[in-house]
Chain A
Amino acid sequence: QVQLVQSGAEVKEPGASVKVSCKASGYTFSNYGLNWVRQAPGQGLEWMGWISAYTGNTNYAQKLQGRVTMTTDTSTSIAYMELSSLRSDDTAVYYCARDLGARPPSTIGYWGQGTLVTVSS
């Protein structure tokens, strides 16, 4: 069965960077794209971007361009999302989420458990 297991909670100071990992199992990693979605406390879902695990091609939300970097390591089936220059409004639960289908465009079919990132001085 498809599983996405994310790294643990992080507390960062404003201006720092955070790197969240997402370990995939139960499928051929390079065959599916991965999304990153975040959810601030009490707020809705915000799509951050998408990466092809096969090519490494990325699409980022415009508001995060320049601060977010998504990568994958096909040798370990791990995806990473790094967010730099953290601000208090980056405090959120960050989800990795796999495309349902192998051919884009695809909706999200599977979600990780989420990683809480808290930005506070």
Chain B
Amino acid sequence: DIQMTQSPSSLSASLGDRVTITCRASQGISNYLAWYQQKPGKVPELLIFAASTLQSGVPSRFSGSGSGTDFSLTISSLQPEDVATYYCQNYYGVPRTFGQGTKVEIK
């Protein structure tokens, strides 16, 4: 099975900061990588698919990059509403493994 490893597991940053989360696949998955945001007590929401395509309605401060095994999610200017846990997911094959999550807080 393909393992997905996110880092860091949590971070605290100031409003307006640039924040980057990384996700590494244990083997190549081309660009079959999605990012989800889950706010406390809420259902996850799709942010980015195909590694870098922004889902409709997602603010442009979110961006994704990468291919193969190494991927990243960047928030260009952290806002209060971005407090959440972020998950990457491989959908290259099965199982469609999630990363363990990165909790983002405001400093």
Contact = CB atoms under 8 A, between A and B. Distances in A.
- Chain B binds chain A: yes
A35 B55 CA distance: 19
A85 interface: no
A62 B93 CA distance: 13
Main SS at interface, chain B: loop
Given A100-B49, A108-B46, A47 B93 contact: no
Contacts of B1: 62
15 contacts: A37-B44, A37-B98, A44-B87, A44-B98, A44-B100, A44-B101, A45-B101, A47-B95, A50-B96, A95-B43, A105-B92, A106-B91, A107-B49, A108-B34, A108-B44
B91 A107 contact: yes
A113 interface: yes
Contacts of A111: 43-45
A105 B33 CA distance: 11
A107 B46 contact: yes
A67 B45 CA distance: 28
B62 interface: no
A50 B87 contact: no
Nearest to A45: B98
Contacts of A50: 94, 96
